Structure 1
Amino acid sequence: MRANGVELCVETFGDPADPAVLLIHGACASMLWWESELCAAIAARGRFVIRYDNRDTGLSVSYPPGEPGYALSDLVLDAVGILDGLGVDRAHVVGRSMSGAIALGLGVDHADRLLSLTFVATTTGDPDLPPMTETFLEASGAQASSDVETIVSVLRAYAGTSPYFDEESVRALAVEDVARTVNVASAMTNHFQIEFDAPRGGGFGDISVPALVVHGSLDPVYPLAHGEALRDAIPGASLLVLDSVGHDLPRPVWPVFVDALVEHTA
C-alpha cells in the first residue's frame, strides 16, 4: 500500500465491516511479531485486525543503515495513511514497546481517528522510573546483528526470566522475518536513531479516548513500575498485568490478552 508517500506492507484479518484494530509493533519488529494466529484469534471475536511492517522492517520501504529518512511523526502519519487506504474512519490502536510513542502521537494529534488506545509493554519515559535490568542490557548488546541465532538470543533477553519463552517458535519467526526483510541491518538499527518529534499537541494526560495498559510482571526492559506509571498518567486508564511475562506477548497469555482487548474495544 502507498501511504503517507511511501510503500508499506499491510495485512488484514477478518471482516472490514467489524470495528478496526490497528496493531503497531515496536523497534526493529515487523508485523510478523504480531503472530498471524494471534491476529486471527482477535478477528474471530468480531474485529477487523490490521497489522503492518513499519518503515525499515519486513517488506516496507527501507533506508540505508544509520540513515533513517524519517522521524516519529512520519510513523504516526503512516498509521493514519493506512487507515485512509483501508477506508477506516476510526480505529482501536494498539502500540507495543517503542510504538507506544506512535500510539501516543495518534491519541494526541489525531484523536479524531481513534476509538481507543492500548499500550503494551511501553513507558512514559520518566527518567525516575527503574532502569532496564543489567542482565537484559548485557544480552541485548548484539541488537544490530542480522544473524538469526543472535536475534533469538536478544529476544530471549527480552523475555527476561519468564517461563513462557518458546525458543523454537521464536527461531522459526526469526528465520521467516530475516528472509523477507528488505535490509536486515537497517531493520535492526534505524528505529533507534530517529527523532522523537511527536506528539506535538500534548502528552499522556491529554489522551481523551479509553486507554488500556498491558504490562508483563517480569518485563526486564520496562519493569512493571513503568506500566503503573503509564496507567496513572492517562486519565481513566486501566492496567492489565500479565503474570510471569517479560517484554513479549507469549502464546500462553494470548487468551487473557484477547479477552481484555475485546472487552476494551467493545
Structure 2
Amino acid sequence: MTTVHVNGVALGIESFGADDAPLVLLVGGTTMLSWPDALCERLAAAGRRAVRYDLRDSGASTTTDPEAPAYTLRDLAADAAALAEALGGGPAHLAGIGVGGMVAQVAVLDHPAAFSALTLVGTRAVAPGPPDDDLPDHDGPTMRRLFARPQPDWTDREAVAEFAAVGAEIRGDDPAAARAVAARVWDRTPGTAPPVQLANQLGMVFARLDCAPRWRERLPEVQVPTLVVHGRRDRFFPVGNGEAIARAVPGARLLVLEDAATALPGAAVGEVAEAMLTLG
C-alpha cells in the first residue's frame, strides 16, 4: 500500500500485479476494502494491474472533516481520472462499488478519455436520498432495523466489528466476512472520532456530499464497454437500480448474482472477475 498525490489530496492505494500491465482501477465504496482481496488477485493473475483505492475522508486518503466535506461528487470523479493518469499505461478499466459506483459513472461521463471500460457493482444512477419514482428505494424494514441499533463504542475494535457483523446479517450479507473487513477498516481508519468512523465503516460522508447536477439522463452517452453487477437479494440498492443502469448504457451487460445481497460475496469473485476481463 502507498499513497498517490493528485488534485491536491493524497489517495491511499493498493496495487496487485505488474506495474506495466493494463490498469483496472477499483473505486472504493468508500474504502478500498469494499473490493475483496480475491477479486484483485484474480485480476492480477489474468495479467491486469488491479489498483484499489480509498475515497477522500477514508482509509489512507486525505481526511479533513467528513461532516462537512469541502468537495463534491465531481471532485471525486476527477480524482479517479487523475489517478488513472498518474498510474500510467493508457486508459483504464474503471470499476466502482456501492457509492463508488456513483463516482465511477460520473468519472466516465466527465472524463471519457481516461477510461476504456466500466464496471458498476451494487450501485444506482441517482445520488443518495430519495430515488426517482421508477427506481426501487432502500428496503424499509431493513433500514429501520439497521438504524434502530445503538452505535458501538467506536474506540473498541471488537465492538465495531460486531456492529458490522449484525448489520451484514440484517442486509443479507455474510456476517463473518463483514466482521473481518470491519476490523481491517478500523485498523486503517485515521482516528476513532464517530464522524471519521462513520465515514469509513458506513460511508456516511455521502449523505452530506454535493452530488449535483444529476447524471442519470447522461448514461446513454457512455461509450465504453460496460458491465453492471448486482445482487438479486440487495436490500440497500435493490436490483431494479442495476437493471435501470444496464438499460440506459448502450450495450451494457447485466450480471445478476442470484445469491448475493449488498456485498460482493467470495463465491461470486470468479464469475465477476471473468466478466470484467471480457471488457478488456
Query: Please, what TM-score do these two structures have when normalized by structure 2?
Result: 0.85
1:223 aligns with 2:231: no
How far apart are the structure 2 equivalents of 1:74 and 1:83? 14
Contact between 1:56 and 1:62, CA under 8 Å: does it hold in 2?
Answer: yes
Q: Give the structure 2 partner of residue 166 of structure 1.
A: 174
Say if 1:199 and 1:103 are closer, same or farther in 2 by CA, change over 3 A.
farther
Q: Give the structure 2 partner of residue 12 of structure 1.
A: 15
Q: In structure 2, which of residues 134, 138, 147 is the aligned counterpart of residue 132 of structure 1?
A: 138
Say if 1:78 and 1:10 are closer, same or farther in 2 by CA, change over 3 A.
same
The one-character-per-residue Cα deviations of 1:44-93 (angstroms, maximum 9, x if unpaired) are 01111010111111111112241112110111111122122212421001
Q: In structure 2, which of residues 260, 271, 278 is the aligned counterpart of residue 256 of structure 1?
A: 271
How many residues align structurally? Answer: 258
How far apart are the structure 2 equivalents of 1:223 and 1:202? 20
Contact between 1:21 and 1:50, CA under 8 Å: does it hold in 2?
Answer: yes
Question: Shift of the alpha carbon at 1:221?
Answer: 1.4
- Once the two structures are superposed, the pairs formed by residues 158-197 of structure 1 within 5 Å of their partners are 158=171, 160=172, 165-183=173-191, 185-186=195-196, 187=199, 188=202, 189-197=204-212
Q: Give the structure 2 partner of residue 61 of structure 1.
A: 62
Contact between 1:108 and 1:201, CA under 8 Å: does it hold in 2?
Answer: no
The one-character-per-residue Cα deviations of 1:176-219 (angstroms, maximum 9, x if unpaired) are 21121114523243222100036779611111111111111111
Say if 1:157 and 1:201 are closer, same or farther in 2 by CA, change over 3 A.
closer
Contact between 1:60 and 1:182, CA under 8 Å: does it hold in 2?
Answer: no
How far apart are the structure 1 equivalents of 2:151 and 2:16? 31
Percent identity over the alignment is 33
Q: Give the structure 1 partner of residue 224 of structure 2.
A: 209
User: Is 103-112 or 33-42 further displaced after alignment?
Assistant: 33-42
How far apart are the structure 2 equivalents of 1:58 and 1:144? 20
Say if 1:123 and 1:144 are closer, same or farther in 2 by CA, change over 3 A.
farther
Contact between 2:74 and 2:107, CA under 8 Å: does it hold in 1?
Answer: no
How far apart are the structure 1 equivalents of 2:65 and 2:27? 22
4+ aligned runs moved over 6 Å, structure 1: 199-202
Consecutive unaligned residues in structure 2, runs of 5 or more: 127-131, 155-159
How far apart are the structure 1 equivalents of 2:188 and 2:125? 32
Say if 1:223 and 1:44 are closer, same or farther in 2 by CA, change over 3 A.
same
Say if 1:219 and 1:261 are closer, same or farther in 2 by CA, change over 3 A.
same
Say if 1:2 and 1:143 are closer, same or farther in 2 by CA, change over 3 A.
farther
Q: Give the SS at the match of 1:214.
A: strand
Contact between 1:109 and 1:200, CA under 8 Å: does it hold in 2?
Answer: no
Q: Give the structure 1 partner of residue 129 of structure 2.
A: none
Query: Please, what TM-score do these two structures have when normalized by structure 1?
Result: 0.89
1:21 aligns with 2:27: no
How far apart are the structure 2 equivalents of 1:112 and 1:219? 32
Q: Give the structure 2 partner of residue 106 of structure 1.
A: 107
1:40 aligns with 2:41: yes
Residue identity in the other structure for 1:136: T
How far apart are the structure 2 equivalents of 1:143 and 1:258? 37
Question: Shift of the alpha carbon at 1:253?
Answer: 0.9
Say if 1:206 and 1:89 are closer, same or farther in 2 by CA, change over 3 A.
same
What's the RMSD between the two structures over aligned residues? 2.1
